[in-house]
Structure 1
Amino acid sequence: MAGSRCPSRVRFSAFFAFFSALFAAGSSTTQVPLLMWSSDGLPPLASPAAGHITSKDQLTAYLTSAFGSGPHTVLLFLQDKLSKDDFTVFGGVFGNKQDSAFQNLEAALQSSSSSVTLPALEWSGSSAVPALLQEKLGVSPLLVDADTLSHLSVNTSVSNLLLVTLPYCNDLHKSCKEVLRDNDEIIGKVLDVMKAKNVPYTAIYTGLQPSRVISETSVSNQAVGRSLLQEVTADVKAPIMFNSTGGPCIMLWAQNLNVSLSRTSAFIDLAAQTPTLTGSICNDSHSQLVLNYASGFVLSFAMTRRLYPVSGRYWFTLDSVQLQSSGLTASFIGSRNIYAPAEYSFHCQSVKSFQDALLVPNNTNQNTTQWRLNFIDFQIQGFGLANGTNFSYANDCAGFFTAGIWMGLLTSLLMLFIFVYGLHMIMQLNTMDRFDDPKGPSISVPQSE
Structure 2
Amino acid sequence: MAGPTSSSGRSLMAFIFFFVACLTSGSATSHVPFLMWSSHSLPPLASPTAGHITSSKELGVYLTSTFGSGSHTVLLFLQDKLSKDDFTVFGGVFGNKEESAFKNLEAAVQSSAASVTLPALEWAGLSAIPAMLQETLVASPLLVDEDTLFHLNINTSVSNLLLISLPYCNELYKSCKEVLQDNDQIIGKVLSFMKSRGLPYTAIYTGLQPSRVISETSVPSQPVGRSLLQTVELEVKPPIMFNQSGSPCIMLWAQNLNISLSGSPSSNWIDLAAQTPSLTGSLCNGTNSVLVLNYASGYVLSFFMSQRFYPVSARNWFSLDSVQLQANGLAASFTGRRSIYAPAEYSFHCKSVSSFQDALLVPDPTSQNSSGWRLSFIDFQIQGFGLANGTNFSYASDCASFFTAGIWMGLLTALLMTLIFVYGLHMILQLNTMDRFDDPKGPSISVPQSE
TM-score, normalization by structure 2: 0.89
- Unaligned runs of 5+ residues in structure 1 are 428-449
- Counterpart position of 1:376: 378
Report the secondary structure of 1:174's partner residue: coil
Q: Are 1:224 and 2:227 counterparts?
A: no
Determine which of 317, 338, 341 is the counterpart of 1:339: 341
Name 1:394's counterpart in structure 2: 396
- With over 3 angstroms needed to count, the CA separation of the structure-2 counterparts of 1:70 and 1:306, relative to structure 1, is same
Residue 16 (structure 1) aligned with residue 14 (structure 2): no
Amino acid in the other structure paired with 2:27:
G
Change (3 A) 1:411 1:266: farther
Runs of 4 or more above 3 Å deviation:
403-414, 416-421
Which residue pairs with 2:105 in the alignment? 105
Report deviation, 1:270: 0.6
Work out whether 1:366 is the aligned partner of 2:368: yes
Show structure 2 runs of 5+ residues with no match.
429-451
Once the two structures are TM-superposed, the CA of residue 3 in structure 1 deviates from its matched residue by: 2.7
Match of 2:438 in 1: none
1:290 equivalent in structure 2: 292
**Cα pair 2:278 2:294 within 8 Å, conserved:** yes
Q: Secondary structure at the match of 1:373?
A: strand
Matched, 1:190 2:157: no
Equivalent residue of 1:374, what SS? strand
**C-alpha deviation, 1:192, in angstroms:** 0.6
CA contact 2:3–2:42 (8 Å) conserved in 1: no
Task: Spell out the pairing of 1:243-282 with structure 2 (5 A cutoff).
Answer: 243-264=243-264, 265-282=267-284
Report what 2:27 is aligned to.
Answer: 26
Name the Cα RMSD after superposition.
Answer: 2.1
Aligned residue identity for 1:20: L
CA distance in 2, matches of 1:53, 1:270: 27
How much does 1:237 deviate?
A: 1.0
Can you list the C-alpha shifts for 1:17-46, whole angstroms capped at 9, x where unaligned?
111112xx231x211111111111211111
Aligned 8 A contact 1:20 1:88 in 2: yes
Q: What CA deviation, in whole Å up to 9, does each residue of 1:392-437 have, x standing for no partner?
A: 11000011122343455566778x599979x99xx9xxxxxxxxxx
Larger radius of gyration: 2
Aligned counterpart, 1:74: 74
What CA distance in whole angstroms lies between the structure 2 residues aligned with 1:145 and 1:70? 26
Q: Does the Cα contact within 8 Å between 2:92 and 2:100 map onto a contact in 1? A: yes
Deviation at 1:185, TM superposition (A): 0.7
**Contact preservation (8 Å) 1:362, 1:368:** yes
- Letter paired with 1:200: P
In structure 1, the residue corresponding to 2:147 is in which secondary structure?
A: helix
Secondary structure, counterpart of 1:14 in structure 2: helix
| Aligned amino acid, residue 42 of structure 1 | L
Instruction: Describe how 1:118-157 pairs up with structure 2 within 5 A.
Output: 118-157=118-157
Contact 1:346 1:379 in 2 (8 A): yes
Q: Deviations over 1:310-329 (max 9, x none)?
A: 11111111111110111111
Which one of 296, 299, 307 corresponds to residue 301 of structure 2?
299
CA drift of 1:103 comes to 0.8
AA partner of residue 42 (structure 2): L
Alpha carbons of structure 1 residues 404 and 93: separation in structure 2 relative to 1, 3 Å: farther
Q: How many residues align?
A: 422
The structure-2 alpha-carbon separation of the partners of 1:408 and 1:115, relative to structure 1 and needing over 3 Å to count, comes to farther
Shift in Å, 1:361: 0.8
Aligned partners of 1:5 and 1:44 also within 8 Å = no
Alpha carbons of structure 1 residues 147 and 319: separation in structure 2 relative to 1, 3 Å: same
The 3 A distance-change label for structure 1 pair 203 and 410 is: farther
Q: Which residue of 2 aligns with 1:215?
A: 215
Q: Structure 2 CA distance, aligned partners of 1:70 and 1:407?
A: 73
- Aligned pairs (5 A) from 1:80-95: 80-95=80-95
**Which residue of structure 2 aligns with residue 55 of structure 1?**
55
Name the SS for the 2:88 alignment partner.
Answer: helix
Report the Cα distance in structure 1 between the residues aligned to 2:405 and 2:189, rounded to whole angstroms. 45
In structure 2, distance between residues paired with 1:318 and 1:68? 48
Query: What is the distance in 2 between the residues matched to 1:53 and 1:385?
Result: 43
Aligned to 1:313: 315
Range with greater deviation from structure 2 (389-398 or 208-217): 208-217
Distance 1:93 1:411, change over 3 A: farther
- Distance, in Å, in 2 between the alignment partners of 1:407 and 1:140 is 59
Q: SS of 2:80's equivalent?
A: strand
In structure 2, the CA distance between the partners of 1:418 and 1:77, relative to structure 1 (3 Å rule), is: farther
Q: Which amino acid aligns with 1:257?
A: L
In the superposition, relative to structure 1, how do residues 408 and 95 fare at CA in structure 2: closer, same or farther (>3 Å)? farther
Cα distance in structure 2, aligned partners of 1:173 and 1:419: 48
Q: Residue 350 of structure 2: SS of its match in structure 1?
A: strand
**SS state of the match for residue 257, structure 1?**
strand
User: Secondary structure of 1:59's match?
Assistant: helix
* Aligned equivalents of 2:374, 2:169: Cα separation in 1: 17
Q: What is the alpha-carbon distance in structure 2 between the residues aligned to residue 224 and residue 63 of structure 1?
A: 47
Cα-to-partner distance string for 1:210-245 (whole Å, 9 max, x where unaligned): 111221203233222221111211021111111111
Q: C-alpha displacement at 1:148, in angstroms?
A: 1.4
Tell me if the contact between 2:102 and 2:181 (Cα under 8 Å) persists in the aligned partners: yes
